[in-house]
A and B are shown apart, each in its own frame.
Chain A
């Protein structure tokens, strides 16, 4: 039978109803086109990009559009739970650039960390969790932006499974009906580091700290560029298009020097279950295959990465290796934290670096940040909380605006207050 090359996978499978179903094993070149075709057939709803967007190139050459504003933040449990300055930096950057967003309560974790660790779930449950979250975003009108690399990779797997398997679509649609929600997927699945990459020149335009003396190594997150790799962002001008452009593109736009190292493709050692219950593997891999190699080959000031597990693993694994006299001791930051610091963010009020384990202070000093003064300011904030003057700190506090301090953030007028509607 003749199979049109660009037709949706279902059409290719069932081109002649009398034929045996064909398993089309080619990777999806354009999942967006497949989704739109399924929407046309009434199979699902596609949440469209409906605001200004920036086009970026992907590994397979397809253009991917990144919506700039009006975004629904799909938070990361690992970031919010253990490295909260990762999440707050993403929000802070968005506020500084003047883009509105929604930080929902109507969101669960993707549950993929547990799934990859323990397998105590299944395809239908994982797809239903994903679609429930997408439906929650759709109900608000805000477009989803995924904070976690694993959520991003897993949701792309789910998208592919839903496109390829009508029986799974039917099962998930049935569950969604019981929840009173539609089967909806976004036009593009977008990771926050893609948003940062797309807006890196706007970020650089707001830069107030010189990072030209900073040497960085980049750890590309496995679940960003290995799972459903086709629509990860690649750029011929960055690594000749042979590695993902995110993170490196940002660091270079800010003026930092990015140096390569031989084990760049290796994972960080997270392992999902290993980081929690088999940590000897995680500690060994993170330090022997990543941190030590980076230090020996590139002498960086900081490792920049873009996923929850990678920041956690590379940061937390160094202490035990240090006790064994290994060549470790390297600051680990997310691209969001690095960008926020370059834009003038407070290292503790915004970037929350006191939650980190590896010593970040030499990096701050090289960036011209007086961390002792900043820590004293944060301690002052904490005393206000302890005295009952305030119950919680807010975004004005994050910029030191409560008592007339000059914001560490830099020039006055950068602070942007966003009205976020509670649309639910």
Chain B
């Protein structure tokens, strides 16, 4: 069953896409199970102590200035164990957070940004619509970091990738290979990675992704990407004679 989005959300292009604004309704038990996953994270107890309702976290929060978003509501919903509201927040709010951790100004020592990190993880692990929508356009980044060990590569600065960064970025794209060879550190003559990462290092990284279940998380939000990464890493580990 799908809850109908408010009329404005159906017509106003500023609203989130229907899949998120009118997220799929699930049973209370399903929501409770999601919250249990949040609550059982080993960090949860370190991140949530109580709330004075002072609003300092909201005042410090950059996302609260631009979105209908409040770190205080996140902390309060978690403290009240309001599984209905927490589910709504996991579908609507958590991806607005800037993860700057300005909310750590909380006089009670709450960490709303940290709670959101946990909620995001649970959203990814369970393939919630908000996670899928938030990660549209993000596949290349995930591929890069998981397969090469560096997230930001020079060749991301394609001519058309960042037009809002000005003509200087196009200059970088046009001269990329030559300008990289002009860098004095020998580790940085690369274009497809931030620096040259040793082959053995990558094998160790792949093992970490397998051993911790991090690779499996990708399957829930981007099955195609998961297949590509899994094959790439399994082949490489097999070459090394490592059995999973």
B214 touches A108 (CB 8 A): no
B124 touches A114 (CB 8 A): no
A267 touches B62 (CB 8 A): yes
- From 372 to 424 in chain A, residues with beta carbon under 8 angstroms from any chain B beta carbon are 378, 381-382, 385-386, 391-395, 397-398, 424
- For B49, the closest partner residue in chain A by CB is A25
Shortest beta-carbon distance from A309 to chain B in Å: 9
Does B218 count as interface, using CB distance less than 8 angstroms? Answer: yes
The stretch among B17-25, B79-87, B158-166 that forms the contact with chain A is B158-166
A355 touches B62 (CB 8 A): no
Could you tell me the distance between the alpha carbons of A281 and B65 in the complex, rounded to whole angstroms?
Answer: 10
- For B66, the closest partner residue in chain A by CB is A281
Could you tell me the distance between the alpha carbons of A362 and B142 in the complex, rounded to whole angstroms?
Answer: 38
B168 touches A87 (CB 8 A): no
Q: Which of B65, B102, B151 contacts A222 (CB 8 A)?
A: B102
* Residue among B109, B181, B184 having the largest count of chain A Cβ atoms under 10 Å: B184
Does B4 count as interface, using CB distance less than 8 angstroms? Answer: no
A392 touches B186 (CB 8 A): yes
Does A279 count as interface, using CB distance less than 8 angstroms? Answer: yes
Shortest beta-carbon distance from B20 to chain A in Å: 13
Chain B residues with CB under 8 Å of A35's CB are none
Chain A residues with CB under 8 Å of B41's CB are 123
Does B172 count as interface, using CB distance less than 8 angstroms? Answer: yes
**Residues 161-186 of chain A: 1 if any B CB is under 8 Å from the residue's CB, otherwise 0?**
10011011001000100110100000
A109-B194, A118-B142, A120-B218 given; A352·B187 CB < 8 A: no
Chain A residues with CB under 8 Å of B15's CB are none
A175 touches B221 (CB 8 A): no
B195 touches A393 (CB 8 A): no
Shortest beta-carbon distance from B214 to chain A in Å: 4
Does B211 count as interface, using CB distance less than 8 angstroms? Answer: yes
B100 touches A267 (CB 8 A): yes
Chain A residues with CB under 8 Å of B33's CB are none
Does B212 count as interface, using CB distance less than 8 angstroms? Answer: yes
Could you tell me the distance between the alpha carbons of A39 and B157 in the complex, rounded to whole angstroms?
Answer: 44
Does A88 count as interface, using CB distance less than 8 angstroms? Answer: yes
**Residues 120-150 of chain B: 1 if any A CB is under 8 Å from the residue's CB, otherwise 0?**
1101100000010011111001100100011
- For A85, the closest partner residue in chain B by CB is B183
- From 24 to 62 in chain A, residues with beta carbon under 8 angstroms from any chain B beta carbon are 25, 27
Chain B residues with CB under 8 Å of A103's CB are 185-187
Does B28 count as interface, using CB distance less than 8 angstroms? Answer: no
**Residues 179-203 of chain B: 1 if any A CB is under 8 Å from the residue's CB, otherwise 0?**
1111111111100011111101110
A128 touches B182 (CB 8 A): no
A392 touches B189 (CB 8 A): yes
Q: Which of A222, A386, A391, A392 contacts B100 (CB 8 A)?
A: A222
Q: Which of A80, A81, A229 contacts B104 (CB 8 A)?
A: A229
A120 touches B135 (CB 8 A): yes
Could you tell me the distance between the alpha carbons of A125 and B105 in the complex, rounded to whole angstroms?
Answer: 27
Chain B residues with CB under 8 Å of A124's CB are 212-213
B99 touches A271 (CB 8 A): yes
Does B169 count as interface, using CB distance less than 8 angstroms? Answer: yes
Could you tell me the distance between the alpha carbons of A204 and B232 in the complex, rounded to whole angstroms?
Answer: 49
Could you tell me the distance between the alpha carbons of A121 and B229 in the complex, rounded to whole angstroms?
Answer: 14
B109 touches A119 (CB 8 A): no
A25 touches B99 (CB 8 A): no
A27-B109, A279-B164, A395-B184 given; A385·B178 CB < 8 A: yes
A109-B151, A117-B99, A354-B179 given; A178·B211 CB < 8 A: yes
- From 47 to 102 in chain A, residues with beta carbon under 8 angstroms from any chain B beta carbon are 75-82, 84, 87-88, 91-92
Size bracket of the A interface: 35 or more
Shortest beta-carbon distance from B90 to chain A in Å: 11
A81-B152, A82-B152, A392-B181 given; A118·B138 CB < 8 A: yes
Q: Which of A114, A285, A316, A385 contacts B162 (CB 8 A)?
A: A316
Chain A residues with CB under 8 Å of B60's CB are 265
Chain B residues with CB under 8 Å of A393's CB are 181-184
Could you tell me the distance between the alpha carbons of A318 and B43 in the complex, rounded to whole angstroms?
Answer: 37
Chain A residues with CB under 8 Å of B200's CB are 106
B42 touches A77 (CB 8 A): no
Chain A residues with CB under 8 Å of B153's CB are 77, 81
B184 touches A105 (CB 8 A): no
Chain B residues with CB under 8 Å of A198's CB are none
A78-B152, A397-B184 given; A106·B135 CB < 8 A: no
Could you tell me the distance between the alpha carbons of A94 and B53 in the complex, rounded to whole angstroms?
Answer: 48
Does B30 count as interface, using CB distance less than 8 angstroms? Answer: no
B209 touches A125 (CB 8 A): yes
Q: Which of A270, A283, A378, A382 contacts B98 (CB 8 A)?
A: A270
A284 touches B66 (CB 8 A): yes
Does B217 count as interface, using CB distance less than 8 angstroms? Answer: yes
Could you tell me the distance between the alpha carbons of A349 and B60 in the complex, rounded to whole angstroms?
Answer: 39
Chain A residues with CB under 8 Å of B152's CB are 77-78, 80-82, 109, 113
Chain B residues with CB under 8 Å of A272's CB are 98-99
Does B76 count as interface, using CB distance less than 8 angstroms? Answer: no
- 6 smallest CB-CB distances across A and B, nearest first, come from A319-B166, A119-B120, A108-B149, A80-B194, A81-B152, A267-B100
8 sampled A-B residue pairs with Cβ under 8 A: A119-B123, A123-B42, A128-B211, A160-B46, A222-B101, A226-B105, A271-B62, A424-B198
- B residues sitting closer than 8 Å to A (CB atoms) are 41-43, 45-46, 49, 60, 62-63, 65-67, 95, 98-102, 104-105, 109, 117, 120-121, 123-124, 131, 134-138, 141-142, 145, 149-154, 156-157, 162, 164-166, 168-169, 171-172, 178-189, 193-198, 200-202, 204-205, 207-209, 211-214, 217-218, 221
Given contacts A222-B100, A276-B137, 8 further A-B contacts (CB under 8 A): A108-B202, A117-B141, A128-B211, A132-B205, A226-B105, A271-B100, A316-B164, A392-B182
- A residues sitting closer than 8 Å to B (CB atoms) are 23, 25, 27, 75-82, 84, 87-88, 91-92, 103-109, 111, 113-125, 128-129, 132, 136, 153, 160-161, 164-165, 167-168, 171, 175, 178-179, 181, 222-223, 226-227, 229, 265-267, 269-274, 276-277, 279, 281, 283-285, 289, 316, 318-320, 349-350, 352, 354-357, 378, 381-382, 385-386, 391-395, 397-398, 424
